[in-house]
Amino acid sequence: MAQGACSPEGPPKAVMPERGPQWHPRYHIQTSGRSLHAQEIDFNDIRTTLQALYAIYDNCNSLHTNAYDEAITTPTEESVRRAMAIQLIINKELGLAKNENPLQGSFIIEELTDLVEEAVLAEFDRITERGGVLGAMETMYQRSRIQEESLYYETLKHTGEYPIIGVNTFLSSKGSPTILPKEVIRATEEEKEAQIATVENLRAAYSAEAAKAIKDLQQAAIRNENMFEVLMEATKYCSLGQLTAAMFEVGGQYRRNM
Tell me, yes or no, whether 218 lies in a domain: yes
Residue 225 domain-assigned? yes
Mean pLDDT over residues 93-109, rounded?
84
Domain for residue 84, yes or no?
A: no
Residue 193, in any domain of the structure: yes
The reported pLDDT for the residue numbered 253 is: 78
User: Is residue 243 in a domain?
Assistant: yes
Give the pLDDT of residue 9: 55
Please indicate, yes or no, if residue 167 is contained in any of the structural domains: no
Least confident range of 120-129, 238-247, 248-257: 248-257
pLDDT tier for residue 109 given thresholds of 50, 70 and 90: confident
Q: How confident is the model at residue 4 (pLDDT cuts 50, 70, 90)?
A: very low
Mean pLDDT of the chain: 86
Percent of the chain exceeding pLDDT 90 equals: 57
Q: Note the pLDDT of residue 47.
A: 96
| Number of domains into which the chain is organized | 1
The residue range of the domain holding 203 is: 189-251
d(CA 101, CA 114): 16
In the chain, the percentage of residues whose pLDDT exceeds 70 is 86
Q: How confident is the model at residue 258 (pLDDT cuts 50, 70, 90)?
A: low
- CB pairs under 8 A, 24+ apart, for 148-154? 151/258, 153/34
Residue 141 covered by a domain: no
Predicted local distance difference test score (pLDDT) of residue 247 = 93
Q: Pick the residue with more confidence: 30 or 252?
A: 30
* For range 87-100, the mean pLDDT: 86
pLDDT digits (tens, 9 = 90+) for 138-174: 888 999 999 899 999 999 999 999 999 999 999 888 8
Q: Is the pLDDT reported for residue 87 higher than 90?
A: yes
- pLDDT, residue 106, reads 85
Is 199 part of any domain?
yes
Above 50 in pLDDT, residue 75? Answer: yes
